[in-house]
Amino acid sequence: MAALTLLLLTAIICSSLTENPSNVSPPNIIIMLMDDMGWGDLGVFGQPSKETPNLDAMAAEGMLFPNFYTANPLCSPSRAALLTGRLPVRNGFYTTNAHARNAYTPQEIVGGISEDEILLPQILKKRGYVSKIVGKWHLGHRPQYLPLENGFDEWFGAPNCHFGPYRSNHSRPNIPVYNNSEMVGRYYEEFVIDRETGESNFTQMLLKEGLEFIQRQTKAQRPFFLYWAADSTHAPVYASKGFLGKSQRGRYGDAVMELDDSVGHILSSLRTLGIENNTFVFFTSDNGAALTSGPHQSGSNGPFLCGKETTFEGGMREPAIAWWPGRITKGTVSFQLASVMDLFTTSLALADIGPPDNRTLDGLDLTPVLLSSSDKVLDRPIFYYRGNEMMAVRLGQYKAHYWTWSNSWNEFKTGINFCPGEEVPGVTTHDQTEHTLQPILFHLGRDPGEKYPISVLSKEYSDVLSRISAVVEQHKNTLVPGIPQLNMCDMAVMNWAPAGCEKLGKCLKVPKSESWKCSWPH
Amino acid sequence: MAALTLLLLTAIICSSLTENPSNVSPPNIIIMLMDDMGWGDLGVFGQPSKETPNLDAMAAEGMLFPNFYTANPLCSPSRAALLTGRLPVRNGFYTTNAHARNAYTPQEIVGGISEDEILLPQILKKRGYVSKIVGKWHLGHRPQYLPLENGFDEWFGAPNCHFGPYRSNHSRPNIPVYNNSEMVGRYYEEFVIDRETGESNFTQMLLKEGLEFIQRQTKAQRPFFLYWAADSTHAPVYASKGFLGKSQRGRYGDAVMELDDSVGHILSSLRTLGIENNTFVFFTSDNGAALTSGPHQSGSNGPFLCGKETTFEGGMREPAIAWWPGRITKGTVSFQLASVMDLFTTSLALADIGPPDNRTLDGLDLTPVLLSSSDKVLDRPIFYYRGNEMMAVRLGQYKAHYWTWSNSWNEFKTGINFCPGEEVPGVTTHDQTEHTLQPILFHLGRDPGEKYPISVLSKEYSDVLSRISAVVEQHKNTLVPGIPQLNMCDMAVMNWAPAGCEKLGKCLKVPKSESWKCSWPH
């Protein structure tokens, strides 16, 4: 009798621990990830032009996260972190070719997302989700690395950034645009971005793709995951004709206005379809504004120091808004230290799926914060990585820099400046500078711009450092770096002849393979 | 017959042009002027801590002005401009002791507001307004310069900044606090500000004074003008016990929270009294955040360059919100280039009083912007003065610097830095640098941080400059500088023995008069 009871009890416990097989449909999940958009680009985050009425309204109807971070100040690793819930140093999206370098996936890259990684859409499939990525992938462009090989059911977009050669000069290929598993054209060829005027209707295509997917899945009554990754705010910045010249901020602002408008259309379609109470939407960006691109081609990081490529706040603090009418209390501000990696873990929790138990996850489940009406804040650090180095850590309001670097003197002298008009002596260093014995400490509440290091002689410094040191030691002692995927480059792996090229007559001759260790200058 | 018709017609026209003698009560006017609070200190303007729920709500219920300016990057001239509607170079609140210096009214100053100036409360009296200033005056502390000699009916507050000597050491007097025409004590003596803890209940006293005045005038059914000029965000920063330690930003943030709370109480009292639909409220600050005071004692200028004392955006762009339920369309953003001097002219328009016709006014009547539901924008320049020099001018989105200067090398070397962590080569100069032949041009829409000068070789530069030059020429050709009031200093004029001191036994011995030309280092 006792044995039977135990058996029953075990069965009950086990079934409650495994995936919930109930018929209650899990919520749809939409993650809108912007490209190089800065914290300060939204009205609600302090952009003086106040040209984002739809995003501002989204915040008023949802929850604002002023302390939301990416996992890396550059696109590819940030996106890999989002989809794996793991730091790039764990999921392999980094390089060991040199110390503390930002690596990504240009056309020459041999690697991509490791097959050992589990991506969000792969797990969501367990609960019947249909997943689509609309926009930029950036986790590797060779066949095995593409979205449909990694859990997504559908894709419309490009594998890499929309860099050139801009003309069809055949000395190197333009980036292809895919529809699912086959290319349907290339940027600057079939998918025109006018570099003179900045005109392109590509964001409108991404909007249409997103809306169509939402409508179709709603009709089919299948839960969906839409990863909407528009890239018009990445240089070369572009916008549709209807938006060009409309902003007070020039072309970059035009692009922001079009993205804001798109967000408005997407949220409004959820309402029209009557699924707004069953759809979790999150808006954020992949890294800070690319200040080095100059004012025409870059956004604003608000009060924060430097931008993209750096581990200062301007490089890694992101605009972030969660929206779920009826579930998330409207108009709230959460001061939770949160990360793009949390979107992985949170999405699993929303789908009522247990996280994979055979790997370390860096993302937290934010549902206690999102779905509670209290000011609940989970205690956790934020690690600021640049390639293989933990540059800094934030704990509460304090941030300790263990290494500082903006970029090299050599690069700086050629005009590449990640901190234009913002030199903080001893902080925005042009040599990689180690501070591990005496980290530079800032209080981000009273000094969000990282301009006033706390005196190492103060009690505040020693009190805080002892707490942070313990966290860092624990992190470093348990960290097992993944195999670096972004070390090797090869001209032969470029997008010469993507799947589908033959149907379009767009295949280019693949040159002889010759690989080299990629050079990552910063 | 024709003559009679003409006479009648003339009479009708004239009476419509003169003050409206109707019995319709004009609206109450409340101007809340903060001290050294920066554009970026409010949640709605992008402060990461989002600790100003009452001001953010005020913006949501009213009209936000992201392009609102003070007339001078320093307190006294800014306040003189507000109350006269005129640039300091016209109303005399400047110095000619040296070129382009910020002068104000420390205790040693001999001068004050000229008797030739007409102050807002003096004119409002014509329509039966009762006026009270609560808080800091700063237009001169000698008897003839005090508020009750210049149109105000009531006053609670201090004539100068709450600098020390901090102890009652009698080598120089502490600043007196007045109740109407007599002092009732001194800062750091009867009105304690604990410099160690930052504790002071002075903001609560100012709140109480303001609320009591509003209630009393409402009961008496008299239109009122309340000028609520709290100063707790000026160094030494202070807050009441209930707010100390509550902010994420340290003591400065605590002060902001207390002011935000006070604004909430004031607006809520208008509602309770049922006069919210007949009260125009405007919130702004006297100049940019005093970045040189360091993170514990200064605020944020958001994305703007430098701070108080400079003619960069951080020194002169101010947070600004207009509120008038039922009259101002709620939740609107006006991109009008506006100025603290407009509050003078706008207040007269609201009170249906014609402006004085014997002087040049620099303030515009903003009522067409405030009370229209269209996106009306009045065309006008903004002039950035430092003392006797027009340093820069803004026209539309463009700003041209004719002179640049942060502060001198000598001062800078002693650690006084108005642009900490923000050096823009050739822009934040430490020598007074003239650019009148080739002004430095910025587009503030795409470059609000004034980091990327527009190339002088571009067509944009020459097109814009020709427009701006015409405006500048017109301004300079017609400008008649007022007699400078801030040139002379004298130890004998300090607050040794203010009116009422004898009743309190707080009179100090007045030293022998010995005057000198004040030294204004920056």
Kindly report the three-state secondary structure assignment for every residue of B138-191: CCCCCHHHCHHHCCCCEEEECCCCCCCCCCCCCCCCCCEEEECCEEEEEECCCE
ipTM over 0.85: yes
* For range A33-44, the mean pLDDT: 98
The verdict on whether B419 is a catalytic residue reads no
Taking only the tens place, the pLDDT of each residue in B425-441 is 999 999 999 999 999 99
Q: How many C-beta atoms lie closer than 10 Å to residue A239's C-beta? A: 30
User: Residues for chain B: how many in total?
Assistant: 522
Say if CB B107 and CB B160 are below 8 A apart.
Answer: yes
Say if CB B61 and CB B324 are below 8 A apart.
Answer: no
Assigned token pair, A22: 């109930």
In 3D space, the residue among A168, A163, A295 whose CA is nearest the CA of residue A231 turns out to be A163
From A60, A305, A446, residue closest to B295, measured CB to CB: A446
State the best of B50, B233, B446 to mutate against chain A, taking most chain A CBs within 10 Å.
B446
**Which band of pLDDT confidence, cut at 50, 70 and 90, is reported for residue B25?**
confident
| A334 and B CB contact within 8 Å | no
Does residue B286 have a known ligand-binding role? yes
In the predicted model, is pLDDT for residue A166 greater than 90? no
Say if CB B279 and CB B30 are below 8 A apart.
Answer: yes
Report how far residue B55's alpha carbon sits from residue A263's, in angstroms, rounded to the nearest whole number.
27
| B199 and A CB contact within 8 Å | no
Assigned token pair, A291: 């200040």
Q: Is the CB of B446 less than 8 angstroms away from the CB of A295?
A: yes
* pLDDT (0 to 100) of residue B170: 74
Q: Three-state SS across A307-375?
A: CCCCCCHHHHEECCEEECCCCCCCCEECCCCEECCHHHHHHHHHCCCCCCCCCCCCCCCCHHHHCCCCC
User: Residues for chain A: how many in total?
Assistant: 522
| A63 and B CB contact within 8 Å | no
Strand A28-34 with A154-157, pairing = unpaired
* pLDDT (0 to 100) of residue B16: 40
Tell me the nearest-neighbour CA distance from A424 into chain B, angstroms: 4
| A40 and B CB contact within 8 Å | yes
* pLDDT (0 to 100) of residue A167: 80
| B64 and A CB contact within 8 Å | yes
* pLDDT (0 to 100) of residue B168: 72
Cα B18–Cα B20–Cα B24 angle in degrees, nearest 5: 175
Report how far residue B274's alpha carbon sits from residue B289's, in angstroms, rounded to the nearest whole number.
35
Give how far the C-alpha of residue B414 lies from the chain's centroid of Cα atoms, to the nearest Å.
29
Tell me the nearest-neighbour CA distance from B300 into chain A, angstroms: 8
* pLDDT (0 to 100) of residue A171: 85
- A220 Cβ neighbours under 8 A, 6+ residues apart: A130
Strand B338-339 with A332-333, pairing = unpaired
Does residue B463 have a known ligand-binding role? no
Taking only the tens place, the pLDDT of each residue in A415-470 is 999 999 999 999 999 999 999 999 999 999 999 999 999 999 999 999 999 999 99
The verdict on whether B138 is a catalytic residue reads yes
| B292 and A CB contact within 8 Å | no
**Which band of pLDDT confidence, cut at 50, 70 and 90, is reported for residue B376?**
confident
In 3D space, the residue among A232, A227, A297 whose CA is nearest the CA of residue A29 turns out to be A227
Taking only the tens place, the pLDDT of each residue in A324-350 is 999 999 999 999 999 999 999 999 999
- Average predicted confidence (pLDDT) for chain A: 94
Burial of B12 (0-12, 13-18, 19+ CB in 10 A): exposed
Q: Is the CB of B452 less than 8 angstroms away from the CB of A295?
A: yes
Tell me the nearest-neighbour CA distance from A228 into chain B, angstroms: 26
Cα A322–Cα A328–Cα A331 angle in degrees, nearest 5: 75
In the predicted model, is pLDDT for residue A51 greater than 50? yes
Q: Is the CB of A66 less than 8 angstroms away from the CB of B45?
A: no
Taking only the tens place, the pLDDT of each residue in A85-111 is 999 999 999 999 999 999 999 999 999
Taking only the tens place, the pLDDT of each residue in A371-389 is 987 788 899 999 999 999 9
* pLDDT (0 to 100) of residue A164: 87
* For range B267-292, the mean pLDDT: 98
Tell me the nearest-neighbour CA distance from B105 into chain A, angstroms: 29
* For range B54-75, the mean pLDDT: 98
Question: A279 forms bridges with which residues in the sheet?
Answer: A28
- Which residue of chain B comes nearest to A304, CA vs CA? B303
Quote the percentage of chain B above a pLDDT of 70.
Answer: 95
Q: Three-state SS across A184-206?
A: EEEECCCECCCCCCCECCHHHHH
Assigned token pair, A348: 């699993």
> In chain A, which residues have their Cβ closer than 8 Å to the Cβ of B64?
50
Q: Is the CB of A48 less than 8 angstroms away from the CB of B40?
A: no
From A249, A294, A421, residue closest to B449, measured CB to CB: A421
From B49, B252, B446, residue closest to A250, measured CB to CB: B446
- Average predicted confidence (pLDDT) for chain B: 94
| A331 and B CB contact within 8 Å | no
Tell me the nearest-neighbour CA distance from A276 into chain B, angstroms: 24
> In chain A, which residues have their Cβ closer than 8 Å to the Cβ of B48?
66-67, 302-303, 444, 448
Assigned token pair, B509: 């011995």
Question: B132 forms bridges with which residues in the sheet?
Answer: B154, B226
> In chain B, which residues have their Cβ closer than 8 Å to the Cβ of A248?
335, 397, 445
Q: How many C-beta atoms lie closer than 10 Å to residue A225's C-beta? A: 26
In the predicted model, is pLDDT for residue B11 greater than 80? no
- A458 Cβ neighbours under 8 A, 6+ residues apart: none
Assigned token pair, B513: 């008069």
In the predicted model, is pLDDT for residue B300 greater than 80? yes
> In chain B, which residues have their Cβ closer than 8 Å to the Cβ of A56?
none
| B481 and A CB contact within 8 Å | no
In 3D space, the residue among B320, B296, B238, B297 whose CA is nearest the CA of residue B40 turns out to be B320
* For range B16-25, the mean pLDDT: 50
Q: What is the CA radius of gyration of chain A?
A: 23
Report how far residue A142's alpha carbon sits from residue B493's, in angstroms, rounded to the nearest whole number.
81
Separate counts of helices (H) and strands (E) for chain A: 13, 21
Does residue B36 have a known ligand-binding role? yes
From B45, B444, B451, residue closest to A420, measured CB to CB: B451
Give helix A53-61 / helix A251-272 axis angle, nearest 10°.
Answer: 40
Say if CB B135 and CB B175 are below 8 A apart.
Answer: no
* pLDDT (0 to 100) of residue A169: 72
* For range A271-293, the mean pLDDT: 98
Sign of the alpha-carbon dihedral angle for B16, B20, B23, B28: positive
Question: A389 forms bridges with which residues in the sheet?
Answer: A386
* pLDDT (0 to 100) of residue B23: 55
Q: How many C-beta atoms lie closer than 10 Å to residue B444's C-beta? A: 21
In the predicted model, is pLDDT for residue A492 greater than 80? yes
Report how far residue B86's alpha carbon sits from residue B424's, in angstroms, rounded to the nearest whole number.
31
| A446 and B CB contact within 8 Å | yes
| B426 and A CB contact within 8 Å | no
In the predicted model, is pLDDT for residue A6 greater than 90? no
State the best of A330, A447, A464 to mutate against chain B, taking most chain B CBs within 10 Å.
A447
**Which band of pLDDT confidence, cut at 50, 70 and 90, is reported for residue B17?**
very low
* pLDDT (0 to 100) of residue A23: 55
| A236 and B CB contact within 8 Å | no
> In chain A, which residues have their Cβ closer than 8 Å to the Cβ of B239?
none
In the predicted model, is pLDDT for residue B10 greater than 50? no
In the predicted model, is pLDDT for residue B508 greater than 60? yes
From B305, B424, B447, residue closest to A295, measured CB to CB: B447
Feature table: binding site of A for Ca(2+):
35-36, 75, 286-287
State the best of B64, B447, B454 to mutate against chain A, taking most chain A CBs within 10 Å.
B447
Report how far residue B372's alpha carbon sits from residue A519's, in angstroms, rounded to the nearest whole number.
58
Lowest mean pLDDT among A52-66, A504-518, B116-130, B368-382: B368-382
In the predicted model, is pLDDT for residue A7 greater than 90? no
Give the up-direction half-sphere exposure of residue B410: CA atoms within 13 A in the CB hemisphere: 3
**Which band of pLDDT confidence, cut at 50, 70 and 90, is reported for residue A121?**
very high
Feature table: binding site of A:
35-36, 75, 286-287
Tell me the nearest-neighbour CA distance from B380 into chain A, angstroms: 17
In the predicted model, is pLDDT for residue B4 greater than 90? no
Tell me the nearest-neighbour CA distance from A320 into chain B, angstroms: 12
Report how far residue B189's alpha carbon sits from residue B170's, in angstroms, rounded to the nearest whole number.
12
* pLDDT (0 to 100) of residue A12: 42
Give helix A342-350 / helix A75-84 axis angle, nearest 10°.
Answer: 30
In the predicted model, is pLDDT for residue A18 greater than 60? no
Report how far residue A462's alpha carbon sits from residue A440's, in angstroms, rounded to the nearest whole number.
12
> In chain B, which residues have their Cβ closer than 8 Å to the Cβ of A423?
421, 423
Sign of the alpha-carbon dihedral angle for A407, A413, A414, A416: positive
**Buried b / exposed e across A438-456, counting CB within 10 Å, b at 16+?**
ebbbbbbbbbbbbbbbbee
Question: Which member of B138, B141, B162, B522 is catalytic?
Answer: B138
- B161 Cβ neighbours under 8 A, 6+ residues apart: B75, B106, B136, B138, B175, B231, B234
In 3D space, the residue among A206, A245, A196, A204 whose CA is nearest the CA of residue A51 turns out to be A245
SS3 B202: helix
Quote the percentage of chain A above a pLDDT of 70.
Answer: 95
Say if CB A155 and CB A137 are below 8 A apart.
Answer: yes
pTM reported for the whole predicted model: 0.93
Taking only the tens place, the pLDDT of each residue in A187-243 is 999 999 999 999 999 999 999 999 999 999 999 999 999 999 999 999 999 999 999
| A248 and B CB contact within 8 Å | yes
In 3D space, the residue among A186, A193, A201 whose CA is nearest the CA of residue A235 turns out to be A193
Quote the percentage of chain B above a pLDDT of 90.
Answer: 92
